């Protein structure tokens, strides 16, 4: 499951997509493939949805608490998305990197950009596209309980997120979940094997004599 025989640096795997493209499902599948991959639990000021648990999907915090975390330098990146604040806590990321453990981020393009700038060599960025706008609309229409205005708003936000596709290293069209999962696993496997990430190589090769 792990790639390579020698010690290596951890990866920061950034997964972005418009909402409704299957990002959460793929994130869960990647972590099922390799349970050592840690999920970066973001802080957010949005209200929990039914089924969401504080500390699992998100750390649900007040605006004041969020601002205090930012002021204290505790956020690796942060951004406003759809009127709510979201941010990735820094400490768990630094811990993971130093332990050679990979971390998965479900964040938007603004967060992806900030982390890519700050920690370029450790980042692998992947953007997920829906197979069609009709497929996305079907997902965002949900159970038919939302007004046309609400759905139109979701579609506008999705198009805005999609407009950033070219800022990512990898782009996957999520037409078939199993295929997309296999591609994602291939990307992570190959990225782990990059020479400069295999920090144990020099010692290993020396040992070869």
Question: Interface with ligand GDP by CB under 6 A: which residues?
Answer: 19, 42, 46, 77, 79, 81, 86-88, 106-108, 110-111
Q: Closest separation between CB of residue 18 and ligand GDP, Å? A: 8
Which helix (H) or strand (E) is 184 found in, with range? helix 177-192
Q: Closest separation between CB of residue 198 and ligand GDP, Å? A: 29
Report which of 155, 157, 188 is spatially closest to residue 170, judged by C-alpha positions: 188
Residue number, 157 or 194, with CB nearest to ligand GDP: 157
Report which of 164, 162, 160 is spatially closest to residue 174, judged by C-alpha positions: 162
Contact residues for 63 (Cβ-Cβ < 8 A; gap 6+): 45, 85
Q: Closest separation between CB of residue 208 and ligand GDP, Å? A: 43
Residue number, 42 or 174, with CB nearest to ligand GDP: 42
Residue number, 104 or 198, with CB nearest to ligand GDP: 104
Residue number, 11 or 27, with CB nearest to ligand GDP: 27
**Which residue in the shown chain puts its C-beta closest to ligand GDP?**
111
């Amino acid at each position: 499951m792990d790639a390579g025989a020698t010690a290596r640096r951890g990866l920061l795997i950034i997964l972005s997509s418009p909402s409704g493209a299957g990002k959460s499902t793929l994130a869960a599948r990647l972590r099922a493939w390799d349970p050592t991959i840690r999920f970066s639990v973001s802080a957010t000021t949005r209200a929990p949805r039914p089924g969401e648990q504080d500390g699992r999907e998100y750390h649900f915090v007040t605006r004041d608490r969020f601002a205090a975390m930012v002021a204290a330098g505790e956020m690796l990146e942060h951004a406003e998305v759809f009127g709510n604040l979201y941010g990735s806590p820094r400490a768990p990321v630094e811990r993971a990197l130093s332990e050679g453990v990979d971390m998965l981020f479900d964040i938007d393009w603004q967060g992806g950009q900030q982390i890519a700038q700050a920690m370029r060599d450790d980042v692998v960025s992947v953007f997920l596209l829906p197979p069609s706008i009709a497929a996305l609309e079907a997902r965002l229409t949900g159970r038919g309980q939302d007004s046309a205005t609400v759905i139109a708003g979701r579609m506008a936000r999705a198009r805005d997120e999609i407009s950033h596709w070219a800022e990512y290293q990898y782009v996957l069209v999520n037409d078939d979940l199993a295929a997309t999962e296999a591609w994602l696993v291939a990307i992570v496997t190959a990225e782990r094997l990059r020479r400069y990430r295999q920090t144990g190589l020099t010692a290993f090769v020396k040992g070869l004599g």
